[in-house]
Amino acid sequence: VEEGIFWRSELEGLVPPGYSDKQVDSWMEKARTSQVVALEKGCGRISNRLATFTDGTKACIRYGINSDQILGETLSFYLSRLLGIRNVPPLALSELNSNNDQWFGVRKEVDSSQWTDKAVVSFTQWISNLTDVVTPAPLRAEDRKLHPLRAELENRSLDELVEFIQWTDLILFDYLTANFDRLVSNLFSQQWDSRSMERATSNLQKASNGSLVFLDNEAGLVHGYRVLEMWDKYHATLLNTVCVFRRRTAQKIIELHRLQNTAEELLRLYQTSEPLSSGLGFLSEEHSQLLQSRVDLLYKHILHCKATYKQKRQGI
């Protein structure tokens, strides 16, 4: 650990790179211009579909029960890019229209799916060979914590530490988006299932190169903020488990706190990258302010951790 609370740069260099800007741009181009030639059930909820493009590439199509779910999924993706967290699969939007070139080849399947014409759906890259992920031991213990303590970190393998770095990003990300449909749901379930934290974490998978993949983010931001009162104590519990951070993630949070422009930056990135952004909409003013307030709370948490561990001898 460096400066009391940041993962060592040499260790960060071992973390799988996630989805690069080039990969994201390439996916967006493919998703917007490719013809869908097959649709089959898959990708989670019964209303979703696994699509195949003409070149054989597969994509998950998410059709929201309401537009808030697609908006939450989309804005969560763009927030991850804004933060420099590259674990969320690339995403692009499409408007359902069985008469246009993209959908014409599967118009019968579209009609039978009971999807609403002109609805906006998301295409996310389908990833093969993913495996389940269990919460790491330091976060499962009764006094759960991932802090810069010698007793917690010194006997861990490199693979474990590389995964820990990604977990700290995940907890900060889900706190910002108030996504209750991942680690928070496991924590919530502990009240009737004492081993829930030992089970696979919802909507989290690991790729073959060790990269954690943050899937199905539709509960983030819009719906998560709407039901925040019910879930916030669990988000706060998980946030307090983390006191060691990826430097670039912490620096971005500090910058967004200083400039007080998180929603504006998110909107700018979203509008410049997604042609259907105007039709899908954005956060309400209330939710924009809530996003900024959660950035500010993360900033205070980082300062608290720094004050606690910068000079402590048990830090490593």
Examine the domain organization and report whether 76 and 111 are in the same domain.
yes
How far is residue 100's CA from residue 112's CA, in Å, rounded to a whole number?
A: 17
pLDDT in the model for residue 308: 92
pLDDT in the model for residue 310: 77
Q: What is the DSSP string of 271-282?
A: HHH-TTHHHH--
Examine the domain organization and report whether 165 and 183 are in the same domain.
yes
Could you tell me how many helices (H) and strands (E) the chain has, helices first?
14, 8
Examine the domain organization and report whether 133 and 263 are in the same domain.
yes
pLDDT in the model for residue 142: 72
How far is residue 133's CA from residue 120's CA, in Å, rounded to a whole number?
A: 31
Examine the domain organization and report whether 296 and 155 are in the same domain.
yes
Give the pair of three-digit tokens for residue 35.
Answer: 């013809």
Asked if residue 316 belongs to a domain, the reply is: no
Residue 74 sits in a domain whose CATH number is 3.30.1010.10
Single residue among 75, 110, 125 that ends a domain in this structure: 125
Single residue among 63, 97, 125 that ends a domain in this structure: 125
pLDDT in the model for residue 312: 58
Examine the domain organization and report whether 78 and 181 are in the same domain.
no
What strands lie across the sheet with 49-53, from one edge to the other? 36-41, 49-53, 58-62, 120-125, 91-95
Cross-strand pairs, 315: 149
pLDDT in the model for residue 182: 93
Examine the domain organization and report whether 105 and 201 are in the same domain.
no
Examine the domain organization and report whether 220 and 286 are in the same domain.
yes
Examine the domain organization and report whether 158 and 105 are in the same domain.
no
The pLDDT profile of the chain, 316 residues, written as one tens digit per residue, is 899 999 999 999 999 999 999 999 999 999 999 999 999 998 888 889 999 999 999 999 999 878 899 999 999 999 999 999 999 999 999 999 988 999 999 999 988 888 988 999 999 999 989 999 999 988 887 777 889 888 778 889 999 999 999 999 999 999 999 999 999 988 888 888 888 888 999 999 999 999 999 999 999 999 999 999 999 999 999 999 999 999 999 999 999 999 999 999 999 999 999 999 999 999 999 999 999 999 999 999 999 999 998 765 444 4
Single residue among 125, 153, 183 that ends a domain in this structure: 125
Kindly report the pTM of this predicted structure.
0.95
Examine the domain organization and report whether 33 and 171 are in the same domain.
no
Examine the domain organization and report whether 187 and 96 are in the same domain.
no
Widest CA span in the chain: 67
Range of the domain at 111: 21-125
pLDDT in the model for residue 269: 98
Examine the domain organization and report whether 43 and 85 are in the same domain.
yes
Q: Domain tally for the chain?
A: 2
Examine the domain organization and report whether 112 and 259 are in the same domain.
no
